[in-house]
Amino acid sequence: MRLTDPALAAILDREHAAARAQRGQPRPPQGDMADFRTSEMHRTRYLSIRPDQGRWLYALAVGSGARQIVEFGTSFGISTLYLAAAADETGGMVTGSEFHPEKAARARQNLSEAGLVADIRVGDARQTLADPDGPIDLLFLDGAKDLYVPVLEMLTPRLAPRALVVADNIDPERAEIAGFLDSVAAPGYVTSLLGFGKGGMSLSLRMA
């Protein structure tokens, strides 16, 4: 199993530890969080999934046989490591998007150290992910929450039959998340909310 490879396990331990250390630090003022494009927090902090989420995401991708995996919001690449390890087993490929070049460079370095491959595209996901390679088997949304709906709508025509859509930080009380949940509650989707700590995740099966 690729996930238990010692080199990958060591990198994941290191990156998760760095993420936990950051979570223990004071967060910047709310005003600095307003725009992911200019926010210091979005440029420098991990904003990543935890180990239990990563293992679940890996298992989901491997178990479903996902080959074309698209990730919105790569950050420093923790989730990308799990997805790329899954793609290594399914014979697939991960295409990711990260707005901040510094984060994308760190993600690529982590992947290289682990002997994994992913196509990390830098810039606004509404441009970088507009033309993915082939039908998408698994779409993971973990970027700016107000872009969940635009990115999903853009990629919906590219979703394969029985594609899976996973979204992180699902707080129904946030207006943008409520709008996203409305989108994946529409006919053609079967959606469940999963309790991974604060905010949770959602899993949607596209039936069309």
Cα 67 from Cα 25, distance rounded (Å): 37
- Please state, in angstroms and rounded to a whole number, the distance separating the CA atoms of residues 93 and 143: 19
Q: Residue 106: its pLDDT value, please?
A: 96
The CATH number covering residue 94 comes to 3.40.50.150
Q: From 197, 203, 43, 9, select the one nearest 113 (Cα to Cα).
A: 9
Using one digit for the tens of pLDDT, what is the confidence trace for 140-186?
999 999 999 999 999 999 999 999 999 999 988 888 899 999 999 99
User: Predicted confidence band at 48 (pLDDT cuts at 50, 70, 90)?
Assistant: confident
What is the number of domains present in the chain?
Answer: 1
Q: List pLDDT tens digits, range 122-138.
A: 999 999 999 888 899 99
What range defines the domain where residue 196 resides? 2-206
SS3 track for 69-120: EEEECCCCCHHHHHHHHHHHHHCCEEEEEECCHHHHHHHHHHHHHHCCCCEE
Q: Taking 60 as the threshold, does the pLDDT of residue 43 lie above it? A: no
Contact 58, 83 (CB under 8 A): yes
Task: Check whether 199 has a pLDDT greater than 80.
Answer: no
pTM of the model: 0.91
Q: What SS3 class is residue 163? A: strand
